[in-house]
Amino acid sequence: MPIKLLPHLRFLNPSVSVTGFPSMNIQPTVRTIPTFCRIFPFKLQYLGLTRINQQPQIPSVRKLTTRPFRTRPGSQSSGSDFNRTRERGRGGEVRASKSLIEDEAELSDWVSDLGSKRNNKYDDDSDFKSAGSGERRGGRERESFPMKRRRENDSDESRGRGRMNRNSANSFSRNDNPRFNRRSDGESRDDGGDFSRRKSGGIERGNGNSFRGNSTSFRGNSNSSFRGNSNSSRGGSSYSSRGGNSNSFRGGNVSSFRGNGNTSRGNSNPSRGGNSNSLREKRNERNDGGGFKKEGMQLRREAKFSEDDSDNSDVEDEDEDEEMGKTMNGFEDLLTEEVSDVDGDDEDDDSTLRTNARKSIGLDKEDGVKRSSPGNDNSYLSESRFAECAISPLSLKGIKGAGYERMTKVQEATLPVILKGKDVLAKAKTGTGKTVAFLLPSIEVVIKSPPVGRDQKRPPILVLVMCPTRELANQAATEANTLLKYHLSIGVQVVIGGTRLTLEQKRMQTNPCQILVATPGRLKDHIENTAGFATRLMGVKVLVLDEADHLLDMGFRKDIEKIIAAVPKQRQTLLFSATVSEEVRQICHIALKRDHEFISTVEEGSEETHSQVRQMHLVAPLDKQFPLLYALLKEHVADNPDYKVLVFCTTAMVTRLVSDLLGELKLNVREIHSRKPQSYRTRISDEFRKSKGLILVTSDVSARGVDYPDVTLVIQVGLPAEREQYIHRLGRTGRKGKEGQGILLLAPWEEFFLSSVKDLPITKAPAPSVDPDTQKKVERALSHVEMKNKEAAYQAWLGYYNSNKKIGKDKCKLVELANEFSRCMGLDTPPAIPKLVLGKMGLRNVPGLRAK
């Protein structure tokens, strides 16, 4: 049958080879092979044309669609990933520096900050080896960075904050404001990754005993009923939710490491145990009819996407969720987390759950042998139902309303333990329902707490959820509202950057909430500047760190430490993430009690990524990357009418450049990064969530947690900041058991990154060549991209790679590469960079750079 080529598939032409792949022998027929076919030959398996590991039969290729594929033989059985696991050591792996900047905001703000710090120590080149750190708030030199607008000087927020600062009597004085400090501490960001690891190492030696606990599988068998019926039995900040006979099945082969703290204390309060459903109903009625009843619906309505927010959200600001550069100062103070109020090592379980979990992981009840089960779309789900847990009827109603029937595996594994009141560090793959896993038991804690009277001046915040990005905070609050649909008296609010502090203050005053979702920087602002807020935080019973490893990383740690210090020690703490490195496990006791449980639903020996997500890496020199990216996208779009693609770029300004370019090439693109106003970010995020047929070019603001359904492809252009970031970015596709694809596009000198992900099933894509027409088209499109955007991208690019330990080591080589990038954007001469910036980057007098 003759092959009919679609015009759009003809961009490939072997005559323009990709340099760096001399061994590539492209047959003439390759011309007919779309890039995707060559990168994803598995597609052919669907067409029955080739075995999965076979080279595609090129002549057979006709119209190629990016069709779903099956789990590869021999790959991780997705049906059995609910297993006890120990983190695999990754010794010897090369990891990209954690100090890589997420965007170049810091860089521009350094410049701004220099005016006030001209004579300080940071003027010394040796203190500023990279552009990846430092002050982000702009000022005098804003002109050099046209995209960045000033927030502090002209917003109500800054004025309000200024007043509040002068008047407020809080524990974080302005002079000691880490947020302020970190923006001037360029060097902390500069070497953050190393520093972090070194510090962690130190901590490990000093305190590294918190994971020595027992690895348990099935504990106890009691089929518990609902607990904790008595408000009166729960006073003050005690852990009412800990007591009783909660089902605490610790899921099948889920790894469940206990800390080595006190484990002998049982739950002795008899009043907490064994309540029937009717009691639950009664309790709920009582609580839901409490002081907030009338406000309930309103609270939820206003929880997040309030009109107020959108009104002010065009206040551009530096991105607290992306900013880094904090130091470890004061960190040691937090190592004395109180451990006295720990629960016992009680053996309490729910046999039904246990049985279900065993089934869900393919464990035969009789012989205990693990059966492998083939992967399928629902393999992220367990066989347990929410009703089997000690969840209140109104929550169950909310769950049903959300369309959730069975628990996901991470929910099945963690819920009973959390409901029991234990601190938990949980690791589960991306898109498997971790948000519900921590929200649901948190809501139960609120339900069990005494209702707050209307006249209470400073009603306590009972649950505090910390998220690293605004998008994620919004999303978590939305999920909370879904679950709270029938809990009319429970309110959720969000405090994030990018909106005026004063309006958040007003909103919180008008509609006090019991559950607060926040980004660290903004929460700290409220602690410092909002009257009565610190008092309200003293009511916190549950503290959640979503994306815990990121929040505990150097970029956020200082804020997190302050926040931990601002909530009661007598609390329950939940840490969730898809990646929990050894380092995180060593430092997690900053937040967790020693007897916390580490629960992982990632099967031992299996990858942290989903087997149904096909991962490829593609190595091509810089000058071929834009045309390649275009080619990949064009083909994916042609093959997938419902395409939904995320393109991750290294920095915000590079994101803007790539978005501009793809827009010029007439692809349907949107961009999102920290330099966009919050209103824009929220709008684009919502649009992408709902849309199909859209490409979102993004910085790492979308890397973690964001739940965009049905993403068909994730492309990562350039070096990911670290292994974990690669995993989280990739995790935007393949959610809820869906299939997806991921491509990592690296330059030859970035290939070293692959060693840090060598345990993941990333296969090398055959290097495609680029049709000269495509190349020309891209060059033409680049010529239409605004010069200032290219200049900003160049500077950002330089800053990003300068902060990488490996690439930034040889400054001359770095500048050569940066100038190559500049040429790829169509610039004959590299843009000039302010001398001060060069100084901060440690790049003064490096040949090849132009200073201004």
**Would strands 381-385 and 406-408 be described as parallel, antiparallel, or unpaired?**
antiparallel
Output 64 or 560, the one with its CB closest to ligand ATP.
560
Shortest distance in whole angstroms from residue 410 CB to ligand ATP: 7
Q: With contact defined as beta carbons under 8 Å apart, do 377 and 737 qualify?
A: yes
Minimum distance, C-beta of residue 554 to ligand ATP, in the bound complex (Å): 21
The helix/strand/coil state of 714 is: strand
How distant, in Å, are the alpha carbons of 161, 397, 408 from that of 405? 46, 11, 9
Q: Which of 7, 61, 6, 16 is nearest to 39 (CA)?
A: 61
Which residues neighbour 233 within 8 Å (Cβ) at sequence distance 6 or greater?
Answer: 240, 269, 271, 272
d(CA 807, CA 129): 12
Max intra-chain CA distance, the chain = 81
Residues 6+ apart with CB under 8 A from 45: 51, 52, 69, 70
CB nearer ligand ATP, residue 431 or residue 497 = 431
Of the two residues 103 and 707, which places its CB atom closer to ligand ATP in the complex? 707
| Structure tokens given for 236 | 């003050």
Q: Report in angstroms how near the CB of residue 741 gets to ligand ATP at its nearest.
A: 17
Q: CB 252 → ligand ATP: shortest distance, Å?
A: 17
Torsion of CA 288, 290, 293, 298, to 10 degrees: -100
- Tell me the CB-side half-sphere exposure of residue 555, using CA atoms within 13 A: 27
Q: Give the residue with the Cβ less far from ligand ATP, 560 or 767.
A: 560
Least distance CB 608 / ligand ATP (angstroms): 10
Find tokens 């068909």 and name the residue.
712
Least distance in Å: CB of 591 to ligand ATP? 18
List contacts with ligand ATP (CB under 6 A): 404, 407-408, 411, 428, 430-436, 578, 705, 707, 731, 735-736
Whichever of 50 and 430 has its CB closer to ligand ATP, that residue is 430
Ramachandran assignment for 666, one of left (phi > 0), alpha (psi -120 to 50 degrees), beta (any other): left
- The Cα–Cα gap between 517 and 491 comes to 11
Closest by CA position to 824, among listed 773, 778, 786, 784:
778
> For residues 784 and 481, what is the distance between their CA atoms, to the nearest angstrom?
45
Alpha carbons 37 and 110: distance in angstroms, whole number: 45
Cβ proximity to ligand ATP, 391 vs 781, nearer residue: 391
Nearest residue (CB) to ligand ATP, 528 versus 724: 724
Q: Rounded to the nearest whole angstrom, what is the least distance from the CB of residue 388 to ligand ATP in the complex?
A: 12
Tokens encoding 597: 């449980």
Nearer to ligand ATP, 354 or 735 (CB): 735
Closest approach, Cβ 228 to ligand ATP, in A, equals 23
To ligand ATP, the closest distance from the beta carbon of 396 in angstroms equals 12
**CB-nearer residue toward ligand ATP: 566 or 711:** 711
Q: Which residue has the tokens 């309303």?
A: 401
Q: What is the dihedral of CA 755, 759, 761, 766, to 10 degrees?
A: 20
Q: How far is the CB of 545 from ligand ATP (least distance, A)?
A: 12
Question: Which residue is it, tokens 């729910």?
Answer: 350
Pick the closer one to ligand ATP by CB: 472 or 516. 472
CB of 625 to ligand ATP, least distance (A): 27
Nearest-5° Cα angle at 182, 178 to 188: 130
Q: Which is nearer to ligand ATP, 76 or 435 (CB)?
A: 435
Burial class from Cβ neighbours inside 10 Å (0-12, 13-18, 19+) for residue 2 reads exposed
